[in-house]
Amino acid sequence: MHLLLMWKNMKRESVKEKKNKKSVIKKILIISVCIILMLSAVLFAIFKLALDPYRGTIGSDVVSLSLDDTITISQAVEDIDYVMEMYRERHPAWLEEGNTRASDVENRYDAEIAALKESGVTEITVLEEWQIISRIMHCLYDGHSTVFLRRDDFRYIDDFTQIHEYGLPVLINGEDYDTVLHRFFDVYQYETESYAQAVFDSLVLVNENYLRWCGVDTADGITLTFDAGDGVLRECSYGFVPIDEVAGYGGNSSDEENKWVYYDIDRENGIGIFTLTSCEFNSEYKETVKEFFEAVNEAGIEHVILDLRWNGGGSSMVGDEFLKYCDIDGYYGWPVHVRYGPFLLKYDKMYIKNHRQQPQYHGDLYVLTNKRTFSSAMDFTMYIMDNDLGVVVGEPAGNLPDSYGDLLNFATPNSHLIFSISYKRWFRIDETKTGQPLDPDYPCPSQEAMDVAYELILG
C-alpha cells in the first residue's frame, strides 16, 4: 500500500512537471515570437526611415509656382540645398569612388550658392531658381535626374504651320538658332547632345516657359525667322496660347491616330508591324501583344518590325512580355547597382528564362529607333541587340546603355519645382560595348527607318 501511494505521488509530480515544462516552452515560444515581431518592426522602421529609396517622394498633386513668382534668397538656398541633400542621400554617383561628375555637381553648387549670396539681391524669381538648379544638375549628365516645372497652364506659339512647312528657324528673336540651343544645353539634363537637340526642336521651340528657361525674352511674343528657300528669309511673329488653340496642332486627330500601342499586318509582303510609343505595362499592352502574335501566326508572317521611334520609356517589363512570344529559351538582362541609403548593392547580369506564351513566333525581328527612343525603350532595344535576337535600324537611342535610372520624384519646399533623382545605375549587357551608345546595325535618318527595314526584308 505504501509503495502504491508513493508511485501515485510520483506520477502526479511527473504530470505536473510535464505541465510546467509545456508552460515554460509555451512562454518561450510566445516571447520568441514577440522578439521576432519587435525586431521585424524595428528593421522595417529603419528601412522606411533610412534605406527606402522612395522615402519622402511625392505624387502628381504638387503644382509649381509660376515663373514670375518671387522667393527670398534664404528660401532659394533652402530649395537648392534640398536638391543637393537628395543627391547625396539617394544617387549612386555619390557612393562611387572617384566619380568626377558628382564632384562637378558639388563644385557647381558651391559656385552658384556663392554667386547668389554675393549678388546683393533679397529675392529672385522662380525662373531664376529653376535655371540655377538646372545648371547644377546638368553637370551630372544623367538624363533621368532632372528638374522641371509642373503646371497646367503651359502656353505655345499660336501657329505650328510655318514650322511644319519650313522646318527649324535660323533665328529666334534675332539670335542664331545655335546660340539659343547651347543655352538650352547649359540648363538641360541629358546624356547625348543628339537627344537634347531633338527635345529642343520638338518641345522647347514652341513652349513659352521652356523658351524663357533658356533665356529667350517672350514678353512681347516671339519672332522666328525661317529659310523659305533660295536664300529668302521669312520672319513670323507669334503670341502664346493654350495648346488646343494652336493653328496646325494635330491634337484633334482620331483616336486611332493617337493610340500608343497598335499593329498592322502587311499580308502582301509577309510583314507584321508593332508600334509602341510609350512603355506602359498594363492589360491593354498585354492584350495587344497577344493579338498581334496571333495575327502574325494566322497570316504566316516571317518578318516582324518593332517600331520604338518616339518612345520616351516607362516600364522595362514591356520587353519581357513581348519576348515571351518569341522562339527563344532565354536572354540576358543588364547588370545594375541599386542604392539603399548609404549602401550600394551590386547585381551582375543574369540569365532570364523565357516564360513562353503561345503562339510562338519563329521569324526575323527588326527594331526601329530614333533620337527620342529613351529609357525603357532603349532597354527594350538593348535586349534585342545585345542578345542577338534581331537587328536595329534607324538612329542611336536618346540615352546610353551605361546610365543612371529609375527615378524618384521630389519637390523643392518653397518654389515647388519638381525634380527627379536616379537611384540605380544600369550597365550594358554586352560588356565588350561598355560605354558605347546603342548604335543601330543599319543607321539611317528616323523618317527613313521603315523604308530601310522593308528593303532589308524584301531585298
The pLDDT, as a whole number, for residue 252 is 47
Q: In 231-309, which ranges are continuous DSSP H helix?
A: 283-299
Over residues 152-161, the pLDDT tens digits come to: 999 999 999 9
Over residues 164-200, the pLDDT tens digits come to: 999 999 999 999 999 999 999 999 999 999 999 999 9
The pLDDT, as a whole number, for residue 284 is 97
Owner of C-alpha cell 551582375: 348
Q: How far apart are CA 215 and CA 423, in angstroms?
A: 31
DSSP code, position 159: B
Q: How far apart are CA 93 and CA 442, in angstroms?
A: 34
DSSP code, position 50: I
Mean pLDDT of 390-415: 97
Mean pLDDT of 378-397: 97
CA neighbor of 229 nearest in space, from 282, 170, 174, 188 = 170
| Of the candidate ranges 34-43, 52-61, 139-148, 432-441, the one whose mean pLDDT is the lowest | 34-43
| Of the candidate ranges 24-38, 122-136, 139-153, 391-405, the one whose mean pLDDT is the lowest | 24-38
> Pairing mode, if any, of strands 418-426 and 336-340?
antiparallel
The pLDDT, as a whole number, for residue 342 is 96
More confident residue, 49 or 93: 93
The three-state secondary structure class of 237 is strand
CA neighbor of 337 nearest in space, from 349, 355, 324, 353 = 349
The partner residues of 222 in beta bridges, in order of sequence, read: 238
Specify whether the CB–CB gap between 58 and 421 falls below 8 A: no
Specify whether the CB–CB gap between 24 and 380 falls below 8 A: no
Cα dihedral sign, 351-357-362-364: negative
Average pLDDT, the chain: 93
Percent of the chain with pLDDT over 90: 85
Instruction: Compute the C-alpha angle 125/131/134, nearest 5°.
Output: 140
pTM of the model: 0.89
Mean pLDDT of 332-349: 96
The pLDDT, as a whole number, for residue 6 is 58
Mean pLDDT of 142-160: 96
Over residues 200-251, the pLDDT tens digits come to: 999 999 999 999 999 999 999 999 999 998 889 999 999 999 999 999 987 5
The pLDDT, as a whole number, for residue 254 is 45
Specify whether the CB–CB gap between 205 and 169 falls below 8 A: yes
Over residues 124-135, the pLDDT tens digits come to: 999 999 999 999
Q: How far apart are CA 308 and CA 373, in angstroms?
A: 6
Range list of β-strands (E), 341-417: 343-347, 351-353, 364-369, 391-394, 403-411
Q: Is 355 exposed, middle or buried (0-12, 13-18, 19+ CB in 10 A)?
A: exposed
The residue type found at 49 is L
Banded pLDDT at 13 (limits 50, 70, 90): low
Q: Which H/E stretch holds residue 224?
A: strand 222-229
Specify whether the CB–CB gap between 288 and 324 falls below 8 A: no
Q: How far apart are CA 194 and CA 62, in angstroms?
A: 31
More confident residue, 428 or 31: 428
The three-state secondary structure class of 143 is coil
Cis? peptide before 445, omega within 30° of 0: no
pLDDT at residue 332 above 50?
yes
The pLDDT, as a whole number, for residue 5 is 54
- Domain extents in the chain: 70-136, 156-241, 261-401+437-458
CATH number of 261-401+437-458: 3.90.226.10
Q: In 200-351, which ranges are continuous DSSP H helix?
A: 208-213, 283-299, 317-323
Cell numbers describing residue 249: 496642332
Specify whether the CB–CB gap between 70 and 132 falls below 8 A: no
pLDDT at residue 256 above 60?
no
pLDDT at residue 3 above 90?
no
Q: How far apart are CA 432 and CA 154, in angstroms?
A: 44
Owner of C-alpha cell 545648371: 135
